[in-house]
Amino acid sequence: MKMRIAVGQPCYPDFPTEPPEPPASPGEEPARTPGGPLPTDERPPGPPAPATPSARPASTVELDPAQRCEARLHVRRITKELDALPDPTPARVGAALNKLGYIDGRVRGLERTDGTTRFVLDLRLFEDPLCLSGSVKGGTTAITAFGVSADADIEDVKRPG
């Protein structure tokens, strides 16, 4: 979350970097902010969804201008790092993404086919649908931004590219 805010801050100039402190009334204790990390890929408690394949893949969600701006910033920093990899194996691509602050729980589908390593970054946060789909082969990186609704499984979405 901190990395997302740090990278995307130029695209959201009016967005506060710290939560506002509520005013304390005399005799009242100020509200406390819960601590601990946000879950990365946990499902809410309850019965699992039935395993029935959908008739067609879920579609992507349109990104707004600020989300497209943030996507460009992520793409630039990832491309710079991945283009420098001499042999972009899934392990090396994953390590490079981790080095940039993208945690394993958000890096999906790391696989290599015909010398090209592909990956998906699930950058969704609250209602922000931002995801990236990328591939890297011998110094050439291609990354496409797309949106996925919070309730959709990223694996069910027909991605660009």
The 10s digit of each residue's pLDDT in 2-32 is 776 678 777 876 655 555 565 555 555 544 4
Cα(159)–Cα(132) distance, integer angstroms: 9
Q: Does residue 111 fall inside a structural domain?
A: yes
Collapsing DSSP to helix, strand or coil, 42 comes out as coil
Determine which of 57-61, 100-104, 132-136 has the lowest per-residue pLDDT on average: 57-61
Q: Does residue 90 fall inside a structural domain?
A: yes
Cα(112)–Cα(91) distance, integer angstroms: 10
Q: Does residue 73 fall inside a structural domain?
A: yes
Q: Does residue 124 fall inside a structural domain?
A: yes
Number of domains in the chain: 1
Determine which of 38-52, 66-80, 94-108, 147-161 has the lowest per-residue pLDDT on average: 38-52
Q: Does residue 45 fall inside a structural domain?
A: no
pLDDT score recorded for residue 156: 78
Q: Does residue 42 fall inside a structural domain?
A: no
What is the domain range of residue 125? 65-152
pLDDT score recorded for residue 151: 87
Q: Does position 147 have pLDDT exceeding 80, yes or no?
A: yes
Q: Does residue 59 fall inside a structural domain?
A: no
